[in-house]
């Protein structure tokens, strides 16, 4: 997989140039790690502690280059497919989930699989299985090629059609418009997803809804927070990787809801001096797979440029926690691991 080399910049790289008004930062909360990401990352760390290096991981455990690099340094080996994993080795399935075909391929190779799929993604998988069993056609709103979409579609490939955008909702063809249901990738823009649903419903009035909202609580909460921040921001900086769907959506939402400019960065060193020209208020947030340390580095960097007055804009509290995969709930001696998992340690409103 491609890696992004990091060259740390010297302190004070950004200049403290004058602006007309008062320099300040609006820091969105919630931001950063969600419960599913925390669970997946700790699952890899615990697997390394329990079984020793190397532990193999199919795809990126979460879509963040910093997290992946740190886990590699601890002994994780990331692969594209399970056929790259030595027979009998331990392999972790990423937070985005896998199809039954991948599970079967791992079993055929005698791999010891640890499923770190986010439980909210697993919920969507179960919905797909249930609707397919009832012979519904499933319109899966999401992005072709995204691991989560591939995993969900793989649960019922004969019943699933991926709808990539609101525009595709206008052209998708179904066999029986009276027996259609929509599901969605969990990390999409709430607004765009509902636009797609509304267009689908215009064409298929009998379109069924999933039993509960598929877009995850963390994605929604981060979008709500950045909407509030963006309205008062000249510039929004979103910390997150380019393959993180929810991070990319945060940039789009910020621009849609009033930010004059918005950029995504993996690291503070990527912030450009010209972005700050004439800027009084900077909004800062991070995607759901981003550790808080990267946000703090951004705050330090823009602090060097005079943006030291930080106000947290909190729109929700998050206290959801998920247990580790069953293989990792006890240590080698059989003692239960008491660590509760959530996104709270990352900061950002919980």
List the structure tokens of 162: 């991926």
Catalytic-residue membership of 270:
no
Helices 65-74 and 35-51, interaxial angle, to 10°?
10
Q: Is 187 annotated as a binding residue?
A: no
Catalytic residue among 127, 137, 147, 148: 148
**Residue 107, annotated as binding a ligand:** no
| Contact (Cβ atoms closer than 8 angstroms) between residue 284 and residue 237 | yes
Residue 281 parent element (H or E): strand 281-286
Q: For residue 142, what are the β-bridge partners?
A: none
How many C-beta atoms surround the C-beta of residue 200 within 10 A? 22
63 is in an annotated binding site: yes
**40: nearest Cα among 225, 288, 294:** 288
Q: Which two tokens stand for residue 104?
A: 């079967």
Structure token pair of residue 144: 């072709």
Cα–Cα distance measured from residue 237 to residue 240, given in angstroms and rounded to the nearest whole number = 10
246 a known binding residue?
Answer: yes
Indicate the burial class of 88 (C-beta count within 10 angstroms; 0-12, 13-18, 19 or more).
exposed
Angle at 44 (CA atoms; ends 34, 84), nearest 5 degrees: 120
Q: Are 81 and 129 within 8 A, CB to CB?
A: no
- CA–CA gap between residue 3 and residue 79 (Å, rounded): 13
230/170 Cα distance (integer angstroms): 31
186 among annotated binding-site residues: yes
How do strand 310-314 and strand 24-29 relate by DSSP bridges?
parallel
Is 289 assigned a ligand-binding role in the annotation? yes
To which residue do tokens 């607004």 refer? Answer: 191
Q: Which residues of 126-144 are buried (b: 16+ CB within 10 A; e: fewer)?
A: ebbeebbeeebbbbbbbbe
Q: Is 34 annotated as a binding residue?
A: yes
Q: Is 184 annotated as a binding residue?
A: no
Q: Which residues contact 53 (CB under 8 A, 6 or more apart)?
A: 74, 75, 76
| Cα-based distances in Å from 26 to 209, 228, 241, 264 | 36, 10, 21, 16
- Residue 17, marked binder: no
Which residues carry a binding-site annotation for isopentenyl diphosphate? 63, 96, 146, 244-246, 289
Which residues carry a binding-site annotation for dimethylallyl diphosphate? 63, 96, 146, 244-246, 289
Which residues carry a binding-site annotation for [4Fe-4S] cluster? 34, 118, 216
Which residue numbers are catalytic? 148
Which residues carry a binding-site annotation? 34, 63, 96, 118, 146, 186, 216, 244-246, 289
């Amino acid at each position: 997989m491609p890696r992004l080399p990091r060259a740390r910049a010297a302190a004070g790289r950004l200049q403290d140039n004058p602006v007309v008004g008062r320099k300040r930062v609006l820091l969105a909360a919630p931001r950063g790690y969600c419960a599913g990401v925390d669970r997946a990352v700790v699952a890899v760390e615990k697997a390394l502690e329990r079984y020793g290096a190397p532990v193999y991981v199919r795809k990126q455990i979460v879509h963040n280059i910093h997290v992946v690099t740190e886990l590699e340094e601890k002994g994780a080996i990331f692969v594209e497919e399970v056929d790259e994993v030595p027979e009998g080795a331990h392999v972790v399935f990423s937070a985005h989930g896998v199809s039954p075909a991948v599970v079967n391929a791992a079993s055929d190779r005698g791999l010891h699989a640890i499923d770190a799929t986010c439980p909210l993604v697993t919920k969507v998988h179960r919905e797909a299985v249930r609707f397919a069993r009832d012979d519904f056609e499933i319109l899966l709103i999401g992005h072709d090629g995204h691991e989560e979409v591939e995993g969900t579609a793989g649960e019922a490939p004969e019943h699933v059609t991926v709808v990539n955008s609101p525009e595709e909702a206008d052209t998708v063809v179904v066999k029986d418009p009276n027996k259609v249901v929509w599901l969605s990738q969990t990390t999409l823009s709430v607004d765009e997803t509902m636009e797609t649903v509304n267009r689908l419903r215009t064409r298929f009035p009998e379109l069924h809804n999933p039993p509960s909202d598929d877009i995850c609580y963390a994605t929604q909460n981060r979008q709500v927070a950045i909407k509030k921040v963006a309205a008062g921001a000249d510039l929004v900086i979103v910390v997150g990787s380019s393959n993180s769907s929810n991070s990319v959506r945060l940039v789009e939402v910020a621009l849609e809801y009033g930010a004059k400019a918005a950029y995504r960065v993996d690291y503070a060193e990527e912030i450009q001096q010209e972005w700050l020209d004439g800027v009084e208020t900077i909004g800062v947030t991070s995607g759901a797979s981003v550790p808080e340390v990267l946000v703090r580095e951004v705050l330090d960097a823009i602090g060097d440029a005079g943006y030291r007055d930080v106000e947290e804009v909190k729109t929700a509290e998050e206290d959801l926690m998920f247990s580790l995969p069953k293989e990792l709930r006890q240590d080698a001696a059989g003692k239960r691991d008491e660590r509760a998992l959530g996104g709270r340690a990352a900061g950002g409103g919980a």
